[in-house]
Structure 1
Amino acid sequence: MAKSKTHYSCTECGATSPKWQGQCPGCGAWNTLVETLADKPASGHRFEALAPGARLQNLSEIEAREADRIPTGIGEFDRALGGGLVAGGVVLIGGDPGIGKSTLLLQALASLSRDQKVLYVTGEESGEQVALRARRLNLDTTRLQLMAEINLERILGTLQVEKPQVAVIDSIQTLWSEQLSSAPGSVAQVRECSAQLTRLAKANGITVILVGHVTKDGALAGPRVLEHIVDTVLYFEGDTHSSFRLIRAFKNRFGAVNELGVFAMTEGGLKGVSNPSALFLSQHGQDVPGSCVMVTQEGTRPLLVEVQALVDTAHGNPRRLTVGLDAQRLAMLLAVLHRHAGIVCFDQDVFVNAVGGVKITEPAADLAVILSITSSLKNKALPAKLVVFGEVGLAGEIRPAPRGQERLKEAAKLGFTRALIPEANMPKQPIPGMEIIAVRRVEEAVTRIRELS
């Protein structure tokens, strides 16, 4: 028997190499080449003449309009999507195993099936398993159609015949096409199956939701081109041992990026949380050192998060550990604190945590991190009902954060009476019930806190 020919494909860019290499020759990524079966070249394609040119249009002649939204019936899911699903849009949703991807999509399809024609394609579970989950969640699945299939050609044929408004493919890594000889989940199969489904969705106006696997590093498995093809990329965040889940939009052609949906996992499935700020604020019986509340902006939503710091004498090499924040940025902030405010931490262990498992990526958390570290080091609690935000530069200046007015209004609504903010974010009109303290430099912020404490 003739041995099957193999080559090595890059999981990031899809480039191929006849032998394994540590670095991809296409994109330069390290340790991304995996062995796959070589696909047979397609026969019968002869390029004897150029294809006719497409009709050209002036951009000014094209009528632009906002895409109509299809609400899923789950408010927090619609928020992450930018207002709801879009006809012909392709959504890719990824997350750790068991975090709730299939549960959320089954709930959404059950809600949509009341007014829309929907189809759930399962490649990982049998129809009986999906039915058991729906029964456990007490969902009305009378009009929800199910298809247990992994063959791409059969799925495409069913979609063209049935023409549902919304279709869920769970998951893209299980599909395989008869046109390719490689195994399901390989780079070639994932790329081809996603491209075919996207073309069908655009041509027929079908909203397609793809479920994607993630690697052990938390990134979406498969070629990077998968994220480029789709219109929206959503990630599930949160600890599987916790009852809270976050959905964050990392790409959205029809809405704002970095929108956040907050859910609680209950016996009846995922339920939206109406006041997510309460999840990320610890309930202390009294003021404690090392705790500082900040206002972060997640898409269009201001969110209050408690930042906790613990500074303790190091026994050996000092450690710097962060949970939910950037560790490299913490090292930079400690250097700024030493240089411009005279606060020394080089012989201290520094641990910083964002409460509730939320990940804070914006630099507006800098001032809260610095003040929580100072509070823990001095073992003196910050003033009660104080909220903080602001970016810190290497020169010690405090830079403004976007949408400062919305952040302050959200803090005032939750009962905070003081705000330490950058001077450039000083509101033109006073906010009822809130004292605004505007600062320009790190040393000034530390001094003002000492005066208030």
Structure 2
Amino acid sequence: MAKSRYVYVCNQCGYESSKWNGKCPSCGAWNSFEEETLDSSPVAKRGASQSVHGLSDNILELEDIGADTDIRYDTGIGELNRVLGGGLVKGSLVLLGGEPGIGKSTILLQICQYLGKEHSILYVSGEESARQIKLRAQRLGVDSENLYLLTATDAEAIAATITESAPDIAIIDSIQTMSINGISSSPGSLTQVRECTNLFMHTAKDQEIPVLIVGHVNKDGAIAGPKVMEHIVDAVLYFEGERHQSYRILRAVKNRFGSTNEIGVFEMLDKGLAEVANPSQMLLAGRPHNVSGTCVACVIEGTRPILAEVQALASKTSYAAPRRMATGFDFNRLNIIIAVLEKRLGVFMGTLDVYLNIVGGFRLDEPAGDLPVAMALYSGIMDKQIDEELIAFGEIGLGGEIRSVSHAAQRIREAERMGFRRCVIPRQSASSIDPKDYSIEIIPVSTLKQAFSLIK
């Protein structure tokens, strides 16, 4: 008779232990161990007749493998195609995660309307009834005749149904509700999520059917379940943004068929998610006039330059230790910039609370955002306004120097297109461009002191 034993698995890194630990010895996460049941059964010893045959017959030479381009399905949403690398690849497994209510199921149902014109789609839901999906489809205007609904949670039966019905595209909503009967743990556990994802991966590869999976997120914002699940799939997409705000950013964390630097920008409307073709205009809408502590930055997301407004506020603290808060910007990077301002320029902030915000829910992860952040901080502290037609980008070194960044020409072109007349750039980046090619005034600087001299 088969025996069962229990192990404890870290839901952050997958480390296994025979006993529960408060802190994972592998990744250092606290309270991350969850109990799993492993079924073990005796395995018959293989005799000579049960020897395993090699796979030498399946070995292929590189020259014999077809070099045709991947077959991609146009989703009908340009921003989604951009993030996927040009469209949905045939036989791929895509994981879509995000906060509850942010629009995961909405965008998947929207692409069914366009894909359903030429392809058959099987939409499997383990959370909602067919009537609920029908009501949402009516609200979104989805009435494709090639869209088929299935409400089930048995992963093995779903995989068999996909194999038998052979749809062109399959959607699983969501992976945390799926389960395999042979596994004793409950749906949503580490074992169930891992094995169900592995099952759908084999189904997608064997049948060459693209499968899109919805994944829930935990309180830390990461996709719930074992990290190995993200290694199994071909692409991992995250929806970012507050559910109570109208704008959403779709970002590729992993993509085997395209770049991971591209983003898609959407706006949540009554009839679903709408593409934002010009994110810079959206992020700069409603800029305040004649106000200190604000500066415009230009960052590169993939191949797209995007302008974003940086706002900084410095006020006298009422606490023993001043507060530092950053929204949309790395907190540790903010502390470094504050330390550089104090040491190299004598701007004392020991008695000031500092608040930094990137408008529109956007996030500045690129070093080119250092200079506009420093200029916004200096403007807010000195209460001096930065010219509304001025834009800046550049990395700040610990010596107070302005270091060069990549794609300077693209950033300047975007600033020029958006109507800015002055652009502050690192002096090293200015050596690779010709100012005569632009109608915008290019101001090269090599130190923070030179950049701050423009704030009057």
Q: Structures share a fold, TM > 0.5?
A: yes
Task: Report which stretch shifted further, 167-176 or 64-73.
Answer: 64-73
**Which blocks of at least 5 consecutive residues in structure 1 are unaligned?**
none
In the alignment, structure 1 residue 443 sits paired with structure 2 residue 449: yes
Q: Distance in 2 between matches of 1:14 and 1:252?
A: 22
Give 1:115's aligned residue: 118
Give 1:22's aligned residue: 22
Give 2:54's aligned residue: 52
Task: Report which stretch shifted further, 321-330 or 392-401.
Answer: 392-401
Q: CA deviation at 1:29?
A: 3.4
Asked if the contact 1:14/1:188 (under 8 Å) is kept, the reply is: no
Q: Distance in 1 between matches of 2:280 and 2:411?
A: 12
Give 2:31's aligned residue: 31
Asked if the contact 1:387/1:420 (under 8 Å) is kept, the reply is: yes
Q: Distance in 1 between matches of 2:404 and 2:67?
A: 34
Give 1:307's aligned residue: 310
Q: Per-residue displacement from partner, 1:52-108 (whole Å, max 9, x unpaired)?
A: 034444546645443232110011111121211000111111001111100110111
| Matched AA of 2:412 | L
Give 2:176's aligned residue: 173
Q: CA deviation at 1:394?
A: 1.4
Asked if the contact 1:76/1:262 (under 8 Å) is kept, the reply is: yes
Asked if the contact 1:12/1:225 (under 8 Å) is kept, the reply is: no
Give 2:417's aligned residue: 413
Q: CA deviation at 1:443?
A: 2.1
TM-score, normalisation: structure 1:
0.94
Aligned identity (percent) is 45
The counterpart of 2:340, out of the listed 333, 336, 344, is 336
Task: Report which stretch shifted further, 44-53 or 169-178.
Answer: 44-53
Alpha carbons of structure 1 residues 344 and 51: separation in structure 2 relative to 1, 3 Å: farther
Q: Distance in 2 between matches of 1:11 and 1:390?
A: 39
SS of alignment partner, residue 39 of structure 1: strand
Count of matched residue pairs = 448
SS of alignment partner, residue 346 of structure 1: coil
Q: CA deviation at 1:9?
A: 1.8
Asked if the contact 1:409/1:431 (under 8 Å) is kept, the reply is: no
* Counterparts of residues 109-258 of structure 1 (less than 5 Å): 109-258=112-261
Q: CA deviation at 1:178?
A: 2.0
Give 1:103's aligned residue: 106
| Matched AA of 1:411 | A
TM-score, normalisation: structure 2:
0.94
Q: CA deviation at 1:196?
A: 1.1
Asked if the contact 2:4/2:39 (under 8 Å) is kept, the reply is: no
**Which blocks of at least 5 consecutive residues in structure 2 are unaligned?**
none
In the alignment, structure 1 residue 40 sits paired with structure 2 residue 39: yes
Asked if the contact 1:39/1:182 (under 8 Å) is kept, the reply is: no
Task: Report which stretch shifted further, 431-440 or 84-93.
Answer: 431-440
Q: CA deviation at 1:296?
A: 1.2
Q: CA deviation at 1:5?
A: 5.4
Alpha carbons of structure 1 residues 445 and 47: separation in structure 2 relative to 1, 3 Å: farther
Q: Distance in 2 between matches of 1:162 and 1:381?
A: 64
Alpha carbons of structure 1 residues 4 and 24: separation in structure 2 relative to 1, 3 Å: same
Q: CA deviation at 1:159?
A: 0.8
Give 2:434's aligned residue: 428
Asked if the contact 2:391/2:420 (under 8 Å) is kept, the reply is: yes
The counterpart of 1:350, out of the listed 351, 354, 359, is 354
Alpha carbons of structure 1 residues 305 and 285: separation in structure 2 relative to 1, 3 Å: closer
Task: Report which stretch shifted further, 142-151 or 390-399.
Answer: 390-399
| Matched AA of 1:296 | V
Alpha carbons of structure 1 residues 84 and 291: separation in structure 2 relative to 1, 3 Å: same
Q: Per-residue displacement from partner, 1:290-331 (whole Å, max 9, x unpaired)?
A: 000001111121111000000111222211100011111100
Alpha carbons of structure 1 residues 285 and 41: separation in structure 2 relative to 1, 3 Å: closer
- TM-align CA RMSD: 2.0
Q: CA deviation at 1:341?
A: 2.1
Q: CA deviation at 1:430?
A: 3.0
Q: Distance in 1 between matches of 2:149 and 2:72?
A: 24
Asked if the contact 1:385/1:415 (under 8 Å) is kept, the reply is: yes
Alpha carbons of structure 1 residues 222 and 329: separation in structure 2 relative to 1, 3 Å: same
Asked if the contact 2:310/2:373 (under 8 Å) is kept, the reply is: yes
Asked if the contact 1:423/1:438 (under 8 Å) is kept, the reply is: yes
Q: Per-residue displacement from partner, 1:353-380 (whole Å, max 9, x unpaired)?
A: 0000112211111001000000011101
Give 1:10's aligned residue: 10
Task: Report which stretch shifted further, 256-265 or 94-103.
Answer: 256-265
Asked if the contact 1:318/1:348 (under 8 Å) is kept, the reply is: yes
Q: Per-residue displacement from partner, 1:107-154 (whole Å, max 9, x unpaired)?
A: 112221111111101011111110111011121232201111110111
The counterpart of 2:366, out of the listed 362, 366, 370, is 362
Asked if the contact 2:402/2:448 (under 8 Å) is kept, the reply is: yes
Q: CA deviation at 1:441?
A: 1.9
Give 1:373's aligned residue: 377
